[in-house]
Amino acid sequence: MGKNLLKLSDLHTDEIIAILDRAQMFCQGIDVPKFSDKIACNLFFESSTRTQYSFNVAEERLGMRVVSFNPASSSLNKNESFYDTVKTFDSFGVDALVIRHSENEYFNQLLGHVDAAILNGGDGTGNHPTQSLLDLLTIKQEFGRFEGLKCVIAGDIAHSRVAHTNYEVMRRLGMEVVTAGPKEFLEDSLDQEDFDQAVKTSDVVMMLRIQRERHAASMSMSAEEFHKAYGLTVEREKTMKDKAIIMHPAPVNRDVELADCLMECDRARIFKQMSNGVFVRMAVLERAVK
Ligand code: CP
């Protein structure tokens, strides 16, 4: 059985660094393997542009054959369960299953029941390991280290698998991580700081999308009010440290969590993050099927 990638908290920091080093080699076009006898299957039960299609590109770059699943035209419409759907693709003999699902830790029900390696493309509000790996690669490329850097993760923390994954792994790698945003989106168990203060003192300002699809009730403020109070406005960006960078996992609601004109400004690394997504996904696919 190949190596699963379910949660970054399952991985020792040495293994995380090894994945990042391999991804950096792929970024430079060094030692790219070919797995033309391997088949990957992308099972996205939740919407995705970046994760789904950058896995697809990563699989193509590794010479793998790719099966993509369309939930709308599948037998999910005939009440087939998530478990039986995944078991079906596993029974076809594919080598890797890339899965995104809205249920936290959906993968627990599959462990011991599928032969293919499982690569988690996001589970509910729990984990997004490849997003965190691409965020870490982007930070490493920028600063050459993690130790001693400060990151503020701002916005809808409570509903964000990116926030939860990054908070744990960044701290383990020696970064200071604080969260900021409206009280209704914060979690008591995570360190918090005033947003304006955190923007001024952080090396990485990571903004998050308001994840309305996960909200039980509507947000207490309008998008305009949110932008003014907790968004990275043009005025706030001017208070950032000289070398500090702006990150966002995307998709971005322009002019809500981030001013439209900052999306591609000199310190924005948002599209760089997307490019790096292909390289980290190549690295975790290699780890899964070699
Ligand atoms: N960042 C991210 O996971 O984007 P998608 O939802 O488009 O995959």
- pLDDT over 70, % of the chain: 99
Contact in structure between 24 and 54 (CB atoms under 8 Å): no
Contact in structure between 32 and 281 (CB atoms under 8 Å): no
Specify whether 122 is located in the same domain as 91. yes
**28 domain-assigned:** yes
> How far is Cα of residue 256 from the mean position of the Cα atoms in its chain?
20
* Residue 93: count of CB within 10 angstroms of its CB: 9
Specify whether 169 is located in the same domain as 201. yes
Q: Provide mean pLDDT across the span 12-20.
A: 98
Domain holding 118, by residue range, is 8-127+275-289
What do you get for the CA distance between the two ends of the chain, in Å? Answer: 10
The two tokens of residue 57 are 């590109």
Task: Check which CATH number belongs to the domain holding 224 and give it.
Answer: 3.40.50.1370
Q: Residue 8 belongs to what H/E stretch?
A: none
The two tokens of residue 165 are 């994954």
State yes or no: pLDDT of 225 exceeds 80: yes
Specify whether 109 is located in the same domain as 134. no
Q: Provide mean pLDDT across the span 163-172.
A: 98
pLDDT at 2: 53
**1 domain-assigned:** no
**225 domain-assigned:** yes
Residue 47 CA: nearest ligand 1 atom is: 6
- Ligand 1 centroid to 102 CA: how many Å? 13
Q: Which of 10, 3, 18, 7 is nearest to 280 (CA)?
A: 18
- Ligand 1 centroid to 77 CA: how many Å? 24
**3 domain-assigned:** no
> Does the model's pTM come out above 0.95?
yes
Q: Residue 27 belongs to what H/E stretch?
A: helix 13-27
Specify whether 114 is located in the same domain as 208. no
**80 domain-assigned:** yes
Give me the number of domains the chain comprises: 2
Instruction: Say how far apart CA 110 and CA 6 lie, in whole Å.
Output: 11
Summarised one tens digit per residue, pLDDT across range 234-281 is: 999 999 999 999 999 999 999 999 999 999 999 999 999 999 999 999
- Ligand 1 centroid to 54 CA: how many Å? 10
Contact in structure between 44 and 69 (CB atoms under 8 Å): yes
Specify whether 152 is located in the same domain as 242. yes
Nearest Cα residue to atom 4 of ligand 1: 50
